[in-house]
Chain A
């Protein structure tokens, strides 16, 4: 009988009285449940064979001043159908405790720690409630996303207490190797704490959030139309992905119909962004095996794409391309042919390089079976994007929840089952070719027409939207809720790095520290997008 039930009915059938009400928002079902049932219901969603939900996002909203309560929302992506379902619950009044789901759903780990830091809500039963965003020198009781915390009350830095708050393994011959926050090379700051016994890594403890700039709070100072520039600066390498996800959320709230031409251009620019990042990463990964020539060639090709971006849009990182309602930049037919010709050169050049790299024995030796992320581990942690696809998680929003023009383009999703560095390189290489193919396709199909749509409605305070974009790294999610006068009430940003970072801790176990930079580069995650 259950087979004919949709997921919401399925939950109602099992948990009837625990469910307060069910609603739909922009096509996403929201199941509102009793707080004390949250753990049971999410666990069921996650483990049930028919539903097989992965936790895609977990966030909190402080509804003050409209309503004296906090709301916790759990977004699940369901197994085969990849449909979304939100489970939500209220913490009224001064209630601060909720039941942790991390013991059963590992993907919730960092989210629940983040919620504790940002809101002061405590996930009861969480196995590791160390501070995440708030480093040890932050004063007690500071929870920046509380509505009564002023966005501009700058915190004072104090000399941190000497002790390090880490997870340690003790024993004879066990060593700690701390690395960072400032690394050799031009990379962003992060602290990695390795525990080794002899050569192999037994445990890696990540301490991030050095770059926490308070992005989500800064969004709350913006109006809906003003947030694009900030979205572009969440993580510079994904300027277009983030601004697109943000714009889509606003467009849902304003019910803007984005014209077809604009949707095609958005897809095209998104593929250009994927291209320069993937080419750069393939080079960077080679560089971490000391294969400097391949790196030099890749950075040369990457630079060509960046210069192309600059010629087409006036920005090497595609800033200013997206605006609410469409795109701010059009391409002439001539520009399009320049683009496609240049990409043909780049593809030919890259293919030659790829053939050389692919048969290099010492490179294969370093790549193969290094940093394996097993499919089950990836699934448990809700890993997304390139890293997920390389571990057999067949998910790509361009196909699963088409946005921009992807409903009219058929994307061939790359994948692998091996989950090692080589698989991640291969997925990137396939995606490079696919991006170029898609851009050619877009040139062929590009319709004429306007570039911007107009807003249709004035949404009520409390209206919200959830949007998703498959950026070059993976799924970018934006939750956007408006308050009075179209001021942003809450903006939850989820860069794919946030879910993939914890998984790297699993992928390095048993590898040697000198392979860590290689594994890390093959994940290629953002610190800025993670730290917010």
Chain B
């Protein structure tokens, strides 16, 4: 117990040790989203839903929870259930097998809610476009408010996007 605390003290604060996100990202925010986002200026709870990603987008979401990015310092939390969420972050193209669960999750999430499509796949199916098993990008099935492109977008870019969304 003391040893690991000692190690933590020795390590010091690592939060913020990452290269800044490049400026001029092509994040698109639907006009209505800004207004919705206002509600969540101080605190935003996210539920992540994977509808068929290659899992690199998930890994970047997971990285946000690491001490380096420490997403909680911005008042952003990851919820274990869609019922506790203010925003859904969806990754991956929507596969035929995940279409049902995605719609269910959307229904279960209380209003007002934001839907964030994370990564090229969620926005336009990316490399999986056209496949028999892919029934469309996320906005084919549920309304999308924010689109964060990239394959995958870097954690710094995701953070920046979430910040921008709530600042404006």
Contacts and interface: CB of A to CB of B under 8 A. Distances in A.
Interface of A: 135, 137-138, 144, 149-157, 159-160, 181-182, 184-189, 209-215, 217-218, 229-230, 233-237, 239, 293-294, 296-297, 299-300, 302-303, 306-307, 310, 316-317, 319, 349, 352-353, 356, 526-528
A151 B4 contact: no
Contacts of B92: 211
A229 B129 CA distance: 13
B4 A307 contact: no
Contacts of B62: 186, 299
Contacts of B93: 213
Contacts of B80: 184-185
A302 B11 CA distance: 15
Nearest to A233: B54
A189 B98 contact: yes
A49 B95 CA distance: 45
A352 B135 contact: no
Contacts of A302: 66
Nearest to B93: A213
Contact of A144 (B11, B59, B133): B133
Nearest to B68: A303
B110 interface: no
A317 B100 CA distance: 30
A508 B88 CA distance: 32
A211 B98 contact: yes
Going nearest first, the 3 A-B pairs with the smallest beta carbon separation are: A236-B56, A184-B80, A299-B66
A214 B131 contact: yes
Given A157-B96, A214-B134, A235-B55, A303 B63 contact: yes
Interface in B2-35: 3-5, 7-8, 11, 14, 18-19
A237 B53 CA distance: 11
A157 B59 contact: no
A299 B63 contact: yes
Interface in B92-145: 92-93, 95-101, 105, 126-128, 130-136
B132 A152 contact: yes
Given A213-B134, A316-B154, 10 more contacts: A138-B96, A144-B132, A154-B131, A157-B96, A210-B95, A210-B97, A211-B98, A218-B131, A297-B8, A352-B7
B71 to A, nearest CB: 11
Contact of B130 (A151, A300, A352): A151
Contacts of B48: 186
Interface of B: 3-5, 7-8, 11, 14, 18-19, 48-63, 65-69, 78, 80-82, 92-93, 95-101, 105, 126-128, 130-136, 151-152, 154
Contacts of A144: 132-133
Nearest to A311: B19
Contacts of A138: 96
Contacts of A187: 50, 58
Contacts of A235: 54-55
Contacts of B49: 182
A155 B7 CA distance: 54
Contact of A137 (B100, B133, B152): B100
Contacts of B127: 218, 229-230, 233
11 contacts: A151-B131, A154-B96, A155-B135, A181-B98, A185-B78, A210-B97, A214-B131, A217-B131, A235-B54, A236-B152, A297-B4
B101 A213 contact: no
A290 B4 CA distance: 14
Contact of B18 (A155, A234, A307): A307
A88 to B, nearest CB: 27
Given A236-B57, A239-B56, A211 B97 contact: yes
Nearest to A239: B56
A154 B18 contact: no
A299 B99 CA distance: 32
Contacts of A303: 18, 63, 66, 68-69
Contacts of A218: 127-128, 131
B160 to A, nearest CB: 16
A300 B97 contact: no
Given A157-B100, A300-B66, A237 B56 contact: yes
A212 B93 CA distance: 10
Contacts of B97: 135, 209-212
A325 B51 CA distance: 34
A237 B56 CA distance: 6
Nearest to B57: A236
B94 to A, nearest CB: 9
Contacts of A154: 96, 130-132, 134-136
Contacts of B133: 144, 155, 212-214
B52 A213 contact: yes
B55 A293 contact: no
Given A186-B78, A293-B8, A317-B56, A217 B132 contact: yes
A527 B58 CA distance: 12
B48 to A, nearest CB: 5
Contact of B58 (A135, A188, A210, A356): A188
A188 B97 CA distance: 13
Contact of A155 (B54, B66, B128, B132): B132
Given A188-B50, A210-B97, A152 B130 contact: yes
Contacts of B128: 213-215, 218, 233
A307 B69 CA distance: 12
A211 B50 contact: yes
A297 B55 contact: no
Contacts of B154: 310, 316
Contact of B4 (A149, A230, A293): A293
B131 A356 contact: no
A353 B93 CA distance: 38
A236 B95 contact: no
